[in-house]
């Protein structure tokens, strides 16, 4: 009997948690939904592919927690995080990302992310992380790189889009910045890494994040 009472008390903080997912890859979304359905204390409020769709939904439907990717079709996830924290308090936000570089994590924590989980982490860990942040705790994946790269989060966004195969002009279009702005930041990164071109920059970057 005592054990049952303790179990109930431990889960009281996460009972009926309304959760939304902002992720543009359906396979990832399906995996998150599957694990959420295994916990009776979680309620899926909605799944979204774009930030615009999410914020339209939030105008009339508040949520308790958002599982948020960084790489989105219409906006950077860190910018979405900032807006959530400014306009939709006290919503909790867990970043769920491929990016394990410390610069991303530090930028997310500065923007008041409640958790930072890597997509390489076991998805079965997500309910535990949700419960932790709903009780006021915080979480950062152990898989986050210990290497501190000398780039800003904005520069890392540009670099990761290049790694994904986008051209320099396509990167400018995706992040809605001028081509001159993108070239300026790429030139800064090439200089810091002593690279002659973008291919060399990408190669050195990939070696660094594997350390």
125-164 pLDDT tens trace: 999 999 999 999 999 998 887 666 778 878 988 988 898 8
Q: Which fold has domain 153-209?
A: Arc Repressor Mutant, subunit A (1.10.10)
By the 8 A CB rule, do 126 and 117 touch?
yes
Q: Which of 6-10, 26-30, 203-207 is the most confident on average?
A: 26-30
Predicted confidence at residue 147, as pLDDT, reads 65
Which ranges in the chain are annotated with CATH 1.10.10.10?
153-209
Q: Is the dihedral of CA 113, 131, 36, 100 positive or negative?
A: positive
Q: What are phi and psi of 204, to 5 degrees?
A: -70, -40
The answer to whether residue 85 scores a pLDDT higher than 70 is yes
- Residue 42 belongs to what H/E stretch? strand 42-48
Main-chain phi, psi angles of 97, to 5 degrees: -140, 160
Categorize the per-residue pLDDT at 3 as very low, low, confident or very high, splitting at 50, 70 and 90: very low
Residue 102's pLDDT is what? 81
Strand boundaries in the chain, DSSP class E: 17-22, 42-48, 65-68, 92-97, 115-118, 139-140
Residue 4: pLDDT over 70: no
Q: Report whether 147 contacts 208 (CB < 8 A).
A: yes
pTM: 0.72
User: Mean of the pLDDT values across residues 35-60?
Assistant: 95
Return all residues near 86 (Cβ < 8 A) that are at least 6 apart: none
Is a pLDDT exceeding 90 seen at residue 100? no
Average pLDDT, the chain: 88
Q: What is the CATH number of domain 2-140?
A: 3.40.50.2300
Q: Which two tokens stand for residue 69?
A: 């990717």
Q: Is the pLDDT of residue 13 over 70?
A: no
| pLDDT exceeds 50 at position 12 | no
| Coil, helix or strand at residue 165 | coil
Q: What residues does CATH 3.40.50.2300 cover in the chain? A: 2-140
Cβ pair 107, 153 in contact under 8 A: yes
Q: What is the pLDDT of residue 207?
A: 78
- CA angle 142-147-148, nearest 5°? 115
More confident residue, 110 or 19: 19
């Amino acid at each position: 009997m005592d054990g049952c009472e303790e179990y109930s008390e431990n889960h009281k903080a996460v009972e009926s948690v309304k959760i939304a997912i902002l992720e543009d890859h359906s396979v990832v979304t399906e995996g998150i939904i599957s694990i959420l359905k295994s916990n009776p204390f979680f309620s899926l409020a909605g799944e979204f592919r774009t930030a615009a769709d999410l914020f339209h939904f939030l105008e009339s439907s508040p949520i308790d927690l958002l599982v948020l990717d960084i790489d989105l079709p219409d906006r950077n996830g860190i910018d979405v995080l900032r807006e959530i924290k400014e306009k939709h308090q006290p919503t909790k936000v867990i970043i769920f990302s491929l990016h394990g570089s410390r610069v991303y994590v530090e930028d997310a924590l500065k923007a008041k992310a409640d958790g930072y989980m890597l997509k390489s982490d076991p998805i079965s860990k997500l309910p535990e992380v949700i419960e932790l942040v709903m009780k006021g705790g915080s979480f950062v994946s152990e898989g986050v790189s210990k290497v501190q790269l000398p780039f800003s989060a904005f520069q890392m966004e540009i670099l990761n889009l290049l790694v994904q195969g986008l051209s320099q002009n396509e990167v400018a279009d995706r992040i809605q910045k001028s081509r001159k702005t993108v070239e300026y930041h790429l030139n800064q990164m090439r200089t810091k890494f002593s690279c002659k071109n973008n291919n060399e920059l990408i190669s050195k970057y990939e070696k660094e994040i594997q350390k």
